[in-house]
Amino acid sequence: MFTAEEFLILCSEECYEAVKANIERKPTDIALDRRIPYASIVATQVKNLQKCRTKLPSYFAVQAIVPTLAYEQSSSEECAERKRLEGKSVLDLTCGLGVDAYALSKRFKRVVTIERNEMVAAVARENFRRLGADNIEVVCSSAEEYIATCTDHFDWCFSDPDRRGSKGEKLVRLEDCSPDVVALMPELKRLANNICIKCSPLFDVDEAFRLFGDCLVETVSLSGEAKEVNIYIDGSTAQLRGVAIGIGEFSCSREERTSARWSAQPSDLSQYRYITLPDVALQHARMVAVAFEGKCDVWSNNGVALSTEKPNGVLGRTFEIEAIYEINSSFKRVIKGAKAEIYRRDFPMSNSEICKRYRCSEGGAGKWCFTRIGEKYLAIELKTENLTNSNSPKGRNRRR
């Protein structure tokens, strides 16, 4: 984090203009340029802002002050903006860089956000000023101290507990994070009608029901990567929701997920013409069986979905199947020398191990999926346009 002197430099018009003038340059070149005032500070800010271009476009646009660690621990704006909170007032217990607070400021008239580190709080205030978010109040305090003395009432209370331990280790259990929202829950319910807790993408969704009873648990993915788990304590019954940002979402009750059944073992793999790779948001919530029920055959939460017709309205990537091969002693001859994009679902080998064993390589126009259905290990070639691999088994009969 910055020293007080460095922060004052970053707030100066001279530094602001230097960052603006050099925003597209390589940070290493900036650091060595003696013509630039405060070159090392400007170089670090340019480096961090260049990273923000996609993840935090609003922060990039106003040349916000971005500490390295705060950036690494922050949400993306896409994830922050899709949380379903709205009302007149919201209490954010964990400000940090302020990405969630800024998103909340667009849907609430008043945002109070708590930050225990004085310098981080000062950075947040300056950034909110640059962003034009004048309805956000930054309070420098620990969440526990603020809650103990607060007499206001809010429509929502939001918390993204710190998931780093004293030695930098990653924490997953909510009780180990700071603030401990489990211990604070009675006080949080005194302060707010509704509560939202953002958790690690590794957080077990069923742990939320154990800790809080009936609630809505939401798993969120972006570009196929798990990003966060959100717990909404707002009077909902036990519900699950998987959200793939930019693609769609699927919801069900906890009971519906429990009652869903896996497909029977297929006797004829050649009947399938389409394969869908379920989105990680569904996988993490263990909703694959119920989400694909009646649309595709599925055999495990981490596996693939197969169908005779192209499925509509499912969360996942769908491809047309070129051929299905059972992996056996003769399979190496089929794929040897192929260059392809490799997907794996419920398969015991890594991509590098697959390439080494079967003498293929990643890259090129081809696409293969390696998976398991029951006791059978399969390699599924996916149809692609202009596939030119000479080792492609196009036109061969599917093997079972």
Q: pLDDT 10s digit of each residue in the chain, 400 long? A: 789 999 999 999 999 999 999 999 999 999 999 999 999 999 999 999 999 999 999 999 999 999 988 888 888 999 999 999 999 999 999 999 999 999 999 999 999 999 999 999 999 999 999 999 999 999 999 999 999 999 999 999 999 999 888 777 888 789 999 999 999 999 999 999 999 999 999 999 999 999 999 999 999 999 999 999 999 999 989 999 999 999 999 999 999 999 999 999 999 999 999 999 999 999 999 999 999 999 999 999 999 999 999 999 999 999 999 999 999 989 999 999 999 999 999 999 999 999 999 999 999 889 999 999 999 999 999 998 643 333 333 333 343 3
- Contact between 161 and 94 under an 8 Å Cβ cutoff? The reply is yes
Helix (H, G, I), strand (E, B) or coil at 160: coil
Task: Give the torsion sign (CA, 8, 13, 18, 24).
Answer: positive
Q: What is the pTM of this model?
A: 0.91
pLDDT value at residue 163 = 86
Domain residue ranges in the chain = 4-55, 75-256, 269-382
Closest residue by Cα to residue 85 from 102, 104, 111:
104
d(CA 59, CA 99): 9
CATH number of the structural domain 75-256: 3.40.50.150
HSE (side-chain half, CA atoms, 13 Å) at 51? 18
pLDDT value for 79: 96
12 contacts: CB under 8 Å, gap ≥ 6: none
In angstroms, rounded to a whole number, what is the distance separating the alpha carbons of residues 391 and 373? Answer: 25
The pLDDT assigned to 69 comes to 84
| Sign of the torsion angle spanned by Cα atoms 373, 378, 383, 384 | positive
* pLDDT for res 385: 63
